A and B are shown apart, each in its own frame.
Chain A
């Protein structure tokens, strides 16, 4: 097993996936915000809302195209770099990816062209429907991708088939309604909505600071902050749901995130901050909140949450079980139909832990020949990097809570303070534009780094999943991706900046005509308030 190959493959996957996720959250949220704005336009007929739809739609388009382009890499990279993974779990993992294409990606990609090119070819309502179809397609995409990812975290509805040497689906229903997948989906799309809300808020704040496009900016803040407040609340609530599901599906990940070395008596305390030390197996300078961990993780006062040391010992047991399954598997493979029933029974009894035997392949060709020392090393491998997880998680959560505060503040000013925003708050809104991306990337880091050493939790180790390519192959593509993606990133950001500087296109004649009609309408209704009552006009 070439370690260099595994690490390079992981590096490339992590890089391309995290890069892809720079564009995805904004697509998820902005598609919906744009559709909301267009709906308001269709309902009120006010040109300003169409102007908003087109302006944010343009920025959406610049971002969307890179999300699509970098997503292509993801669709094929499993086969290119993770060929044993693809063989081993393709029977389950491939299905949601294909359904994503059929159900979601076709929808968004077919209609996104019409969104930009259809302004003069469609009626208003038709165009609005197109905008919603793009938004729905994007969000359905996320659903199926997270069903696929959720299965890697919690592989339900599948079992190992000795004849084909792979996992095969036993229940599609279980795969789709995997609790981990569902919690992840809502958490992830909500994070996308927060990202878009912070983006719209920040760009609008910039316009208010610069004293231009104030009409558009104020209305955009109103939409973004109300949408963003709901989304920020849901991110935190549903993140908690993910934590709860991890407490019974991915115990080691949870223990590592919390740097919980020893099993504590229930209800466990929550470590707010501290310095986890893997060597010493303790967390220095830890600040604890009593009971909190037990309540979040198990939603009970009596259930215990196992610590890392206990889970490591359990892993060693599972490895020993896995070796029994592996031994039976070798017999089944050699004898095929002539396999004695006793061997089949032995395999059935231990097949859930078969993946643990594969952890030994890093140290010994045939897991059956592993020494106790090697089993201990493999068991230790089941502990992911504690300190990075501990900190990544805490920064993400802190950012998550701060988004609630930001959105609540702007929602309050927009709703109850006549859309007047103090200057400091506008500067702050501009300054925090990058933070949702940081939170989202950290979230993925926690989810995927926390799953190590597995690609599919408890089923297939990462080290076994890779394609047997040459190091040179990897270096070429890695260098290619870095170069390529950096250039695209620079171009994307510069275009975003250019179009933000340029600002919305305002059709003056149309706006004035509407204004005249609007005032005429108001004159016919003597009791109505004056047309320019709100400062947004």
Chain B
């Protein structure tokens, strides 16, 4: 029974590369707005009631949203084991900070309003702010570093090794281009959070959110444009030298890779991918206009389109690279040499095809049940809000 050969190995690899993008985008679109809302919390809500309104706009859904992050981890493990092994250990301390944020955030949502004490609540508000803003920044910094290339190499046994000193490895992530990517990511999610609040909150809270969201959207668009320019003139890309062996083994060391040229060469090789950055700019622009005009549902949708375009543009620009290595380009992980086996990719695809539609269906149902604005009466009346 060789069912899995129904789909050829390289096709599966491309499908799983696309699904990796879907997961990252799914995470940014759902958990992204809770991170944005957390980061906006101190600025859009001043009184305790306002803060509770803001928190309760995401109260019932953040838990499901955060699963996108966890599923992302699991799916990378299952479909791209070398990527899972190299990236999370290579970005070790940055990952620790992200984990700390994602541990403190759920607890803050859940525990904040369980005591009346103002100091208690103020501390948790701070945790919600940091728990939203810090990962939003770090994810961008990580993406920036991936574009720049990461200092790792694989031994002949395919054991990942990291080069550079301890401080180099952590502070070395904070390169100027990576920081710019971090700013794009943070401002984009602030915009997204503001679009969510504009839909789910009312009055002064929504008003403040729209104002900050407009600025954040402009910063995101500007930063994104600047990053594109920087990629065009100041950053080396990577390229595969050898012909790809069809259905070849997942061993990065079998490939030849050079560093040099530009990532943006991809746009001459595959001109259609320009659709991604166009979506990015257009989505952000329309979201900003929507925020200014006070439109609600459409603004959130435009914001989603903008984020989708920005994230997709990174993947499409780098294809087939997933994680390039600066110190040993040969060790770079690509779509053709860093996947799971043919059979595992097939089985995981079957699972994803069964469960993703179900997940989308019941998630949509939950959002429908919770449809409507969160008001002062909601947070002061019910014993079950946060």
Most buried by B among A61, A79, A86, A106: A79
| Measured CA separation A101–B351 after assembly (Å) | 11
Contact (Cβ within 8 A) B103 A70:
yes
Cβ-neighbour of A84 out of B73, B85, B109, B355 (below 8 A): B85
Determine if A99 and B84 form an interchain contact, defined as CB atoms under 8 angstroms apart: no
- Contact partners of A68 in chain B: CB under 8 A: 63, 66, 106
Q: Shortest CB–CB separation between residue B190 and chain A, in angstroms?
A: 23
Contacts of A425 in B (CB 8 A): none
Tell me the chain B residues, 315-356 only, with Cβ under 8 Å from chain A. Answer: 340-341, 343-344, 347-348, 351-352, 355-356
Assuming the contacts A105-B67, A165-B157, A488-B107, asked whether A83 and B366 have C-beta atoms less than 8 A apart, the reply is no
Secondary structure of the A side of the interface? helix
Q: Is A87 an interface residue (CB 8 A)?
A: yes
| Chain B residues whose C-beta falls within 8 Å of the C-beta of A484 in the assembled complex | 100, 103-104
| Distance of A66 Cα from B105 Cα, bound (Å) | 11
Measured CA separation A414–B369 after assembly (Å): 40
Distance of A36 from chain B, by nearest CB (Å): 20
Let me know if B162 is at the binding interface, CB within 8 A. Answer: yes
User: How many residues of A are in contact with the other chain, CB < 8 A?
Assistant: 75
Chain A residues near B359 (CB-CB < 8 A) = 102, 106, 110
A253 at the interface (CB under 8 A from B): no
Contact A72 B69 (CB under 8 A): yes
Contact A169:B343 (CB < 8 A) given known A86-B84, A484-B103: yes
- B102 near A95 with CB under 8 A, answer no
Interface on chain B toward A: helix, strand, loop, or mixed SS? helix
The reply to whether B81 and A100 form a contact with Cβ atoms under 8 Å apart is: no
| Chain A residues near B111 (CB-CB < 8 A) | 62, 65, 491, 495
Q: Map CB proximity to B onto A67-102 as digits: 1 under 8 Å, 0 otherwise.
A: 011111101101111011011001111110111111
Most A Cβ at <10 Å: residue of B62, B87, B157: B157
The answer to whether B103 touches A72 (Cβ under 8 A) is yes
CA A172 – CA B92 in complex, angstroms? 31
B63 touches A80 (CB 8 A): no
A329 nearest in chain B by CB position: B157
Decide if B122 is an interface residue (CB 8 Å cutoff): no
Tell me how far the C-beta of A335 lies from the nearest C-beta in chain B, rounded to whole angstroms.
14
Q: Does B99 contact A (CB under 8 A)?
A: yes
**Neighbouring B residues of A505 by C-beta, 8 Å:** 383
A residues with a Cβ closer than 8 A to B are 61-62, 65-66, 68-73, 75-76, 78-81, 83-84, 86-87, 90-95, 97-103, 105-107, 109-114, 116-122, 161, 163-166, 168-170, 172, 333, 467-470, 472-473, 476-477, 480, 484, 488, 491, 495, 498-499, 505
Given A116-B384, A468-B160, verify A476-B93 contact (CB < 8 Å). yes
Q: Which of B78, B159, B162, B382 contacts A87 (CB 8 A)?
A: B159
Given contacts A80-B95, A105-B67, contact A86 B107 (CB under 8 A): no
B86 within 8 A of A: yes
19 examples of A-B residue contacts, CB within 8 angstroms:
A68-B106, A72-B99, A73-B99, A76-B99, A79-B89, A83-B88, A83-B160, A90-B84, A91-B340, A97-B77, A97-B78, A98-B78, A99-B74, A102-B359, A109-B67, A113-B366, A165-B157, A168-B344, A169-B347
| B67 surroundings in chain A (CB, below 8 A) | 101, 105-106, 109-110
Quick check: A110 and B110 within 8 Å, CB to CB? Answer: no
Q: How many pairs, one residue from A and one from B, have CB atoms within 8 Å of each other in the complex? A: 249
Cβ contact within 8 Å between A80 and B96: yes
The residues of A that contact B110 with a CB separation of less than 8 Å are 61-62, 65
Measured between beta carbons, the chain B residues less than 8 angstroms from A333 are 156
Q: Which of B107, B156, B369 contacts A114 (CB 8 A)?
A: B369
Are B160 and A118 in contact, with the CB atoms below 8 A?
no
Contact of B363 among A110, A161, A169, A476 (CB under 8 A): A110
A98 touches B75 (CB 8 A): yes
Q: What is the bound-complex CA distance between A99 and B350, given in angstroms?
A: 11
B160 / chain A contacts, CB cutoff of 8 Å: 83-84, 87, 467-468
Q: Is the CB of B159 within 8 A of A468?
A: yes
Q: Chain A residues with Cβ under 8 A from B75's Cβ? A: 98, 101
B340 engages A94 (CB within 8 Å): yes
Query: Contacts of A491 on B, CB cut-off 8 Å?
Result: 107, 111
Cα–Cα distance between A101 and B64 once the two chains are bound (Å): 11
B contact residues around A165 at 8 Å (CB): 157-158, 251
Contact status B60-A164, CB under 8 Å: no
- In the complex, what distance in Å separates the CA atom of A169 from the CA atom of B110? 40
Q: How far is the CA of A92 from the CA of B70 in the complex (A)?
A: 18
Closest B residue, CB atoms, query A97:
B74
Tell me whether A469 and B89 are in contact (CB under 8 A).
Answer: yes
A472 CA / B168 CA spacing, docked (Å):
13
